Amino acid sequence: MDKENIETLKQQVLSGACITPEEARSLSDTPEKETLYAAADRIRAHFMGGAIDTCSIMNAQSGRCSEDCQWCSQSRRFKTGVPEYGLVSEDEAVTIALANSRQGVARFSLVTSGRALKPRQVQEASKIYRAIGKQSPIRLCASMGLLRTPELQTLKAAGVERYHCNIETAASYFPALCTTHSFAEKVRTISEAKAVGMKVCSGGIFGMGETMAQRIEMAFSLRDMEIDSIPINILTPVDGTPLQGCAPLSDEEILVSIALFRFINPTAHLRLAGGRSLIIHLQEKALNAGISAVMVGDYLTTLGANIEQDKDMFRRLGRGEMR
């Protein structure tokens, strides 16, 4: 695809129309990569503005997961040496949430390992969320597995406004990476979270052996579900997991994938999330190729990014306002 056709598709998206999977595949093959990135960034600026939407997470229950997700260090099926502990205390969670709030981070999420948090644990987590809500304006999110409607309603009543449930990859590729639960179960959790009045954060991981066509498939699945926050993670191969030997993606493949996600999901936050430490050299280009949101601080079982360094980067790129 040449520059003129990229411009045509950009104007099509800016006018509110959608591109097709065939058009997305043509964009992925363009030799005009810089034109593609610039077009994606123009779409980002038009629909999402210049401010950076920030969030942080806390690994609130670690390890001992029953599932066999091949990318995950927290599965009890793999020997990764990840710390193992149950649901964190209220004092610890509140302390971390308030520290993030003081630094201007907009959102905070408890993230728990396991297929789904038990109803009793959801009640305990809700107590933590209420305590945070009484002491801080930080907006609350949760990532607690394949919950069903009653537990999602409990979290919503405690002040959680957004539920996180990654689809991880394309539906066509998911069975090759996980056999203990299905893509359809993830879609069900997303649907039930939306039904109780929550917004949804759902994205996936680049670099797990999927093709560009499968990344495009994932992007269209997210568009069809009207997801408003899409975390983009870059696989961090963890020793002991089946994906420990995955070769890293090229910088170009990462940037093209981000740009395509922006063309396909123009009004969603594209959130640079896990694996940022692997692409430190690429972050500024990613922020100029369609990214509108960033996960800051520490991640689940890998080191995150220093918040003050992130603020400096945002300011340097003229994206200094955090929200």
Residue 305's pLDDT is 60
CATH number at residue 167: 3.20.20.70
pLDDT averaged per 10 residues, the chain (length 323): 95 98 98 98 96 94 95 93 94 94 94 96 98 97 98 98 98 98 98 98 98 98 98 95 95 98 98 90 95 81 66 86 70
Q: Does 307 reside within a domain?
A: yes
Residue 298's pLDDT is 65
CB atoms within 10 A of CB 137: 8
Q: Which residue has the tokens 């109803």?
A: 119
Q: Which tokens go with 163?
A: 């539920």
Q: Does 322 reside within a domain?
A: no
Structural domain count, the chain:
1
Q: Does 241 reside within a domain?
A: yes
CA 163 to CA 178: how far, in whole Å?
A: 21
What is the domain range of residue 214?
3-316
| HEC string for the chain | CCHHHHHHHHHHHHCCCCCCHHHHHHHHCCCCHHHHHHHHHHHHHHHHCCCEEEEEEEEEEECCECCCCCCCCCECCCCCCCCCECCCCHHHHHHHHHHHHHCCCCEEEEEECCCECCHHHHHHHHHHHHHHHHHCCCEEEEECECCCHHHHHHHHHCCEEEEECCCECCCCCHHHHCCCCCHHHHHHHHHHHHHCCCEEECCEEECCCCCHHHHHHHHHHHHHCCCCEEEEEECCCCCCCCCCCCCCCCHHHHHHHHHHHHHHCCCCEEEECCCHHHHHHHHHHHHCCCCCEEECECCCCCCCECHHHHHHHHHHCCCCCEC
Q: Does 321 reside within a domain?
A: no
